[in-house]
């Protein structure tokens, strides 16, 4: 798996995979509706940098059940892209858009892939991916929002979000995790359609 991450970081024309780093992300949504700040924020057409440095710490595979679990870690991941936001901070309305940067330091990640085997047209077993679950917990998250036309507003937004980074990341985490799971599933499906089960998991 470690080799696969390195090989796929820049994409693989032979397998038909897009670059893994940066990872293109269509949409990530944050909904924070409690406490002194209420925010609905969406990042769209974003990129995530840093996956090429991912280290595979442990892999547990139960091939009879079709389950693969991997524990992963990297030094830093950075999500960057346009954002739209609506809500309030204390009593101050926050509505607008701009460029946002989310840096996640030392994230620990866990991926669980489930699937089953089928016999392909070449009479060789193929692995069909049924589902992928993904979770990520960074040690610290840093947020930066940029909009020169609303400099004061984004300064307040950046400060308050960073002061509450754990709560904000907890609200953002389900959307980021679901996005990563969907992307990983797509990569895996592309690869497993072309590489036989025994070539991938055989002795």
pTM, to two decimals: 0.85
- Using alpha carbons only, what angle is made at residue 195 by residues 115 and 56, rounded to the nearest 5 degrees? 65
Q: Which helix (H) or strand (E) holds 62?
A: strand 55-62
Tokens describing residue 159: 């400060």
pLDDT tens, residue order, the chain (203 aa): 777 777 777 777 777 788 888 999 999 998 876 666 788 999 999 999 999 999 999 999 898 899 999 999 999 999 999 999 998 877 778 888 999 999 999 999 999 999 999 988 888 888 999 999 999 999 999 999 999 888 888 898 899 889 988 988 888 889 899 999 998 999 889 888 888 887 877 65
DSSP string spanning 118-178?
A: EE-TTS-EEEEEEEEEEEEE-SEEEEEEE-GGGHHHHHHHHHHHHHTHHHHHHHHHHHHHH
């Amino acid at each position: 798996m470690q080799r696969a991450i390195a090989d796929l970081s820049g994409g693989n024309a032979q397998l038909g995979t897009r670059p893994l780093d940066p990872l293109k992300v269509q949409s990530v949504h944050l909904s924070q509706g409690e406490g002194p700040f209420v925010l609905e924020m969406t990042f769209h057409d974003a990129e995530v940098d840093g996956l090429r440095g991912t280290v595979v710490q442990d892999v547990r595979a139960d091939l009879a059940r079709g389950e693969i679990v991997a524990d992963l870690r990297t030094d830093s991941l950075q999500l960057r892209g346009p954002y739209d936001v609506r809500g309030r901070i204390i009593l101050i309305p926050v509505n607008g858009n701009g460029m946002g940067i989310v840096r996640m330091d030392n994230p620990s990640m866990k991926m669980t892939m489930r699937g089953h085997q089928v016999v392909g047209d070449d009479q060789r077993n193929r692995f069909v991916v049924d589902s992928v679950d993904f979770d990520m917990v960074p040690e610290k998250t840093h947020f930066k929002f940029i909009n020169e036309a609303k400099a004061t507003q984004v300064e307040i937004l950046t400060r308050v979000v960073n002061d509450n980074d754990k709560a904000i990341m907890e609200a953002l985490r389900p959307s980021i995790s679901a996005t990563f799971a969907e992307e990983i599933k797509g990569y895996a499906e592309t690869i497993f359609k072309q590489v036989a089960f025994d070539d991938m998991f055989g002795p």
